Structure 1
Amino acid sequence: MRAILRNTRPDPRARLRTHDYAALGEERRASELRASIERIIGDPSAAARKSALGDPRNVTVRDLANASAEVLEGYLARHIGDDDLVEKVLLSFASSPRSQPTFADVLARHSAPRTALLSITTGLRRRLAPPPGHWELWVREVLALLDCDPELVRALPVWTALTIGGGFRRREAHNVVTTAVMSTLRGSEEAWERFVSSPASYSGPTAWLRLGDILDAAVHGTPWPTPPSGR
């Protein structure tokens, strides 16, 4: 099948030799058909479905975010043990929240779920697209986990972690975030004042400052950390 596809690829010079718009349209449709066939080849047993995600090595977070629950469940089931794929699916929740499969269900498919979650969250600026809504959705998913440990909470973007809330009408900070702040700053008035005056913000590079780094700088009186690097 792959050999056939290679032999039916269009001659790149043909486009320069014709002004026949109908022929160009046929060439475009043929290219789209070949691309669909190649995705099916990379995703075994996908021919009976309306869409194919292709090879897990090439599938994008956007592809996964746009996939239906049924397609995504089947795709994960056919690629059990692929931790890279699981991490891509986890990141897809940040741009397209879904009820099935749940974030926790997908995370459980990873061979080292806690390590993966901490690694992704710590390097969130490298892994997510810029719109603030994306990292807000990620933080919500993380804080919704039943076993959200302190180290993971400290890795969250500070502004978002403090403002998405978890109390009545989300006016109060999430309880695990409040616990992390209170246990670090304790009764130090100076540390609290520094914490309140931190450079963390809703958008821009300082939106990526991590809660733990800001807390530590507030307690120890050290310079504010620089935002983590992006892509």
Structure 2
Amino acid sequence: MKSLLVAVALVASVIAGSAEAGQGFSVPRPPAVVSPDLAKPWLLQTKPGGRPAVTRSRTVVRARAAPPSIGREFLPTVVRYRGSEAPGTIVIDTNHRFLYLVLDGGKAKRYGVGVGRPGFEWAGTHTVTAKAEWPTWTPPEEMRAREPNLPDSMVGGPDNPLGARALYLGDTLYRIHGSNQPWTIGKAVSSGCIRMRNEDVVDLYDRVPVGTKVIVM
């Protein structure tokens, strides 16, 4: 009996609701609740029926060109010296691209160097007549005649072809100097000067005084 009464009550409720609807009343419905995740701006911009468009930033990594390097044999090292020159003498072997600073005890400090290109080779014995830190470069007239775009002068600095230090040889135009192109060490590319890596010419500069004997072979 109790079950019958419940069923009757449910039917009456449905009929009443239908009557209200027929009289222009709407049956109130529970409010729509949107999940916080679904209310995010990026989702509301998607098209109906489609999946959310996920935009992922792409990081483009471009490989850097490896800087030019020199052979390990041209890095500074101490070697045995069997020559007859006194300690403190600089001996430059242009054929093999090495500069030797003779040390005590039958040894020498060896550095890799760049030398004059074909047509600009030279040999002789001189002394260091002057030294300069971050020297100013003043290309001689002969060089400017060959290369008209060269400046009349360039103050010392990292971009200066003479590099960090210079040792001036006798009354010649030649120098032992640093370089802003260290990858040319071990090559014959200069106009006759002996070029070194900046860190190497700084080391040599600190070891030798004005008056040092220099033999170029």
TM-score band w.r.t. shorter chain: under 0.3
- Higher strand fraction: Structure 1 or Structure 2? 2
Structure-2-length-normalised TM-score: 0.20
- Higher helix fraction: Structure 1 or Structure 2? 1
